[in-house]
Amino acid sequence: MTDILLLNGPNLNLLGSRETDIYGNSSLKAINNACQEQVESHKFSFQSFQSNSETELIDAIQQAKSDKVRLIVINPAAYTHTSVAMRDALLAVEIPFIEVHLSNPHSREPFRHHSYFSDIALAVIAGFGIDSYRYAIDAAINRLKQN
Ligand code: DQA
């Protein structure tokens, strides 16, 4: 059983070297470690997974059901704007999720303004750089404490 699953989509494995003016200097490993520490300090369990493959991300969402994941925090990255299949997977497993973005997609190119996830998400946190993850995990922890 996992309480909180953090999922990261394509190209986020390159954080720290990818468009650092937009995404900052922290690596994904550092973000995952910080989130893990934050979750475990509240005695909840944590798993993280990143993939560049839509198929693998869908498989991870489906697996989350068997693993009895209670809440998903997800940065779908570019799949935010394209993936009906990941949206359907999240609807299928019926696990509440928080959508996270480092940047604020609404202040960027028009093709980033639409998300296939926002209308079915518990909440959306965007634009705070790596702090977006910290705030999302904090909200996830509070939510689990209420249930
Ligand atoms: C992103 C925003 C997306 O538009 C983009 O494709 C990403 C990262 C973010 O975290 O700001 O890869 O999800």
- Looking at residue 56, its pLDDT comes to 98
First to last CA, the chain: 16
pLDDT at residue 147, rounded to an integer:
80
Residue whose Cα lies nearest atom 6 of ligand 1: it is 78
Give the per-residue pLDDT at 146.
95
Residues of the chain with pLDDT under 70: none
Residue nearest to atom 2 of ligand 1 (CA): 77
Tokens of 37: 């520490």
CB 130 within 8 A of CB 101: no
User: Catalytic: 116?
Assistant: no
Mutate to test the pocket of ligand 1, among 26, 75, 79, 132 (most ligand atoms within 8 A of CB): 75
Q: What lines the ligand 1 site, CB under 6 Å? A: 11, 75, 77-78, 80, 101-103, 105, 112
Q: Residues with Cβ < 8 Å from 135, sequence gap 6 or more?
A: 125, 128
Q: Is 23 a catalytic residue?
A: yes
Q: pTM for the whole thing? A: 0.97
The answer to whether the CB of 120 falls within 8 A of the CB of 74 is no
